Amino acid sequence: MSRWRYLSDKAPLFVVLLLVCLYGSQLSCGYFASYDLTENNKNCFCELEGSINDCGCEVDTVDHFNNIKIYPRLKSILVKNYFRFFKVNLHHQCPFWSDDSKCAMRFCQVQNCEEQTIPPGLKEQGYNHNFMRPAAYKYSPEAQDPECSDANDFNSILGLIDTSISDQAHKEFELWAKHDQAEEDFCIIDENEEGCQYVDLLLNPERYTGYKGDSAHRVWSSIYLENCFGVQNKSNTFSDYLAQMDLHKMCLEQRAFYRIISGLHTSINIHLCSKYLLSETKDFLAPQGIWGPNVEEFKRRFSPETTNGEGPHWLRNLYFIYLVELRALSKAAPYLRREDYYTGIVEEDQETKMAINDLLSVIESFPNHFDENALFSHSPQGIRFKYEFKEKFRNISRIMDCVGCDKCKLWGKLQTQGLGTALKILYSEKLNIATESGLWDKPHIEADPIFRLKRSEIVALFNAFGRLSNSIFEMENFRKSLR
């Protein structure tokens, strides 16, 4: 999304430190581990020692699991039509400041997809907007029975308590249910708003567009300085914020929030380094560019010498957010297996469902999942932190509307929505109830109304995790280049 800072390179020391830390360290991931900032290890991956929940997960374990088992599967799944088209509103005005820095770079523009390329199932009016009906309904026998009308199905769900209930009352019930569902959301979702449109993610890959400067800096400054927990930064600069921030003094929830945002920021920067604009043509009517890995840019963004020792910490946080989203997919696996990933193209939908089931089985086999129960106890303080956590993240999703580059905005909104969906899954009381009650073994109509994900949430969840998986995979490529 943005360049963070422009600092000098001192490659030899960074290369040695990076290789030593990545290949020599056998320390635990330490989800909420204490930070050991001694002179000997503050500039490498060794700064995190120990773990709250005795997690035996190591960086090497995550690298191998992701690069061998997860990344290849995700890469084949995310090109499927169900995950390829994302519905989003890119025309929102920035709610926090005057948007006076619209990117004029040609590579910032989002390429619209042709109407005929959108799968028929996604264009059906009202599809996936009925809060009581799962996507799997489209392939169910009831959907094929002409005698089964929407009204009959809706009334059966409501229990047919009063046949005299007016249409207006039914609409009110639906609004109440939607409001109740939204209470668990960690981000603002604009899927059904006027102005939303489908975007073909394959036509608009995330890569460096040239968007930088004050506008990009202001977005990340607002995310860190106004929404992260920690010190009150009076200087209003990110570097001073980091200098004053003491992770030792933060509680688990505060530290987790910072590490999640830092990990997201790191992942986005790695994407930009791996798909950097290396050259371009001068023809404005037919803009062409060549993108590829830029090792020097990677070193500039993450070298200890050019980041005041913080770069390796940021890289470490990438693994943290990866484990958070990995755990969310594992926890939601029973629900996600019930989806049919409907696009109206029967053969591909079946292939997608089989591929998802295979991926979920692999994810569930991971031996050291993130323990979400370490956060947000049922004490008054824990409840308050959960509320603040949610409100801060919703605010960050609004900040995405302030990004001046449309393509950067697209991927920023998608990844924050995916992360918000992961947090919703991890801390949804409704999902816990459905799981503990064994409702996933019952017919769809009995279990799905308790916990629901919109199609856009599912698409964002898998694509956001795909971006993290890609970042860890690209890290290995940068290590090889540095070697």
What are the pLDDT digits (tens) for 235-246? 555 566 665 566
Does residue 133 fall inside a structural domain? no
Tell me if residue 408 is catalytic.
Answer: yes
State the pLDDT at residue 366. Answer: 93
State the pLDDT at residue 25. Answer: 35
Give yes or no for residue 68 having a pLDDT over 60: yes
Does residue 5 fall inside a structural domain? no
C-alpha 105/C-alpha 274 separation (Å) is 20
State the pLDDT at residue 69. Answer: 97
Give yes or no for residue 332 having a pLDDT over 90: yes
State the pLDDT at residue 298. Answer: 93
Owner of token pair 């809060």: 131
Question: Who has greater pLDDT, 347 or 381?
Answer: 347
Does residue 358 fall inside a structural domain? yes
Q: 108, 90 in Cβ contact below 8 A? A: no
Nearest to 268 by CA among 227, 302, 244, 303: 302
Please indicate if the annotation marks 301 as binding a ligand.
yes
pLDDT band at residue 125 using 50, 70 and 90 as cut-offs = very low
35 strand-pairing partners? 48
State the pLDDT at residue 143. Answer: 55
C-alpha 437/C-alpha 435 separation (Å) is 5
Question: Who has greater pLDDT, 190 or 313?
Answer: 313
Q: 51, 255 in Cβ contact below 8 A? A: no
pLDDT in tens, 333-342: 999 999 999 9
State the pLDDT at residue 327. Answer: 94
User: What are the angstrom distances between the C-alpha of 88 and each of 130, 137, 200, 457?
Assistant: 19, 24, 11, 11
pTM as predicted? 0.79
Question: Who has greater pLDDT, 386 or 426?
Answer: 426
Q: 445, 141 in Cβ contact below 8 A? A: no
pLDDT band at residue 1 using 50, 70 and 90 as cut-offs = very low
State the pLDDT at residue 229. Answer: 67
Least confident of 284-288, 376-380, 408-412: 284-288
Give yes or no for residue 363 having a pLDDT over 80: yes
State the pLDDT at residue 115. Answer: 86
State the pLDDT at residue 181. Answer: 59
Please indicate if the annotation marks 220 as binding a ligand.
yes
DSSP state letter for 28: B
Question: Residue 88 phi/psi, 5° resolution?
Answer: -155, 155
pLDDT band at residue 16 using 50, 70 and 90 as cut-offs = very low
Six token digits for residue 118? 């959108």
With 0-12 / 13-18 / 19 or more C-beta atoms within 10 angstroms meaning exposed / middle / buried, residue 311 is: buried
Least confident of 104-113, 162-171, 320-329, 404-413: 162-171
Question: Residue 280 phi/psi, 5° resolution?
Answer: -150, 155
Does residue 90 fall inside a structural domain? yes
C-alpha 444/C-alpha 184 separation (Å) is 21
Nearest to 223 by CA among 412, 7, 410, 385: 412
Does residue 444 fall inside a structural domain? yes
pLDDT band at residue 17 using 50, 70 and 90 as cut-offs = very low
pLDDT in tens, 265-311: 999 999 999 999 888 766 655 557 889 999 999 999 998 888 888 88
State the pLDDT at residue 374. Answer: 76
* 3-state DSSP assignment of residue 199: strand
C-alpha 283/C-alpha 133 separation (Å) is 49
User: Residue 394 belongs to what domain range?
Assistant: 59-114+178-482
DSSP state letter for 33: P
Six token digits for residue 441? 């073994």
DSSP string for 86-146:
EEE---PPPSSS--------GGGSPPPPPGGGS-HHHHSTTTTT-TT--GGGGGSHHHH-T
Tell me if residue 196 is catalytic.
Answer: no
pLDDT band at residue 13 using 50, 70 and 90 as cut-offs = very low
Does residue 129 fall inside a structural domain? no
Query: How many domains is the chain built from?
Result: 1
Question: Who has greater pLDDT, 386 or 412?
Answer: 412
Question: Who has greater pLDDT, 2 or 233?
Answer: 233
DSSP state letter for 287: -
Give yes or no for residue 75 having a pLDDT over 80: yes
Give yes or no for residue 129 having a pLDDT over 80: no
Mean pLDDT value across residues 101-109: 75
Question: Who has greater pLDDT, 382 or 321?
Answer: 321
Owner of token pair 């993290």: 468
Radius of gyration of the chain (CA): 23
C-alpha 193/C-alpha 177 separation (Å) is 18
pLDDT band at residue 183 using 50, 70 and 90 as cut-offs = low
Please indicate if the annotation marks 209 as binding a ligand.
yes
pLDDT in tens, 22-48: 333 333 333 333 344 333 334 333 333
Of the ranges 119-133, 370-384, 459-473, the best mean pLDDT one: 459-473
478 strand-pairing partners? none
190: enclosing H helix or E strand: none
- Chain centroid to CA 347: 28
State the pLDDT at residue 282. Answer: 63
Q: 245, 273 in Cβ contact below 8 A? A: no
Does residue 223 fall inside a structural domain? yes
State the pLDDT at residue 213. Answer: 81
pLDDT band at residue 354 using 50, 70 and 90 as cut-offs = very high
pLDDT band at residue 15 using 50, 70 and 90 as cut-offs = very low
pLDDT band at residue 12 using 50, 70 and 90 as cut-offs = very low
Nearest to 276 by CA among 212, 208, 216: 208
Please indicate if the annotation marks 479 as binding a ligand.
no
Owner of token pair 């992942």: 267
C-alpha 392/C-alpha 261 separation (Å) is 11
Please, what is the average pLDDT of the chain?
76
Please indicate if the annotation marks 437 as binding a ligand.
no
Does residue 470 fall inside a structural domain? yes
Question: Who has greater pLDDT, 469 or 434?
Answer: 469
* 3-state DSSP assignment of residue 58: strand
Six token digits for residue 140? 């169910």
Q: 385, 424 in Cβ contact below 8 A? A: no
**Number of residues assigned to the chain:** 483
C-alpha 425/C-alpha 454 separation (Å) is 12
DSSP state letter for 337: T
Please indicate if the annotation marks 265 as binding a ligand.
yes
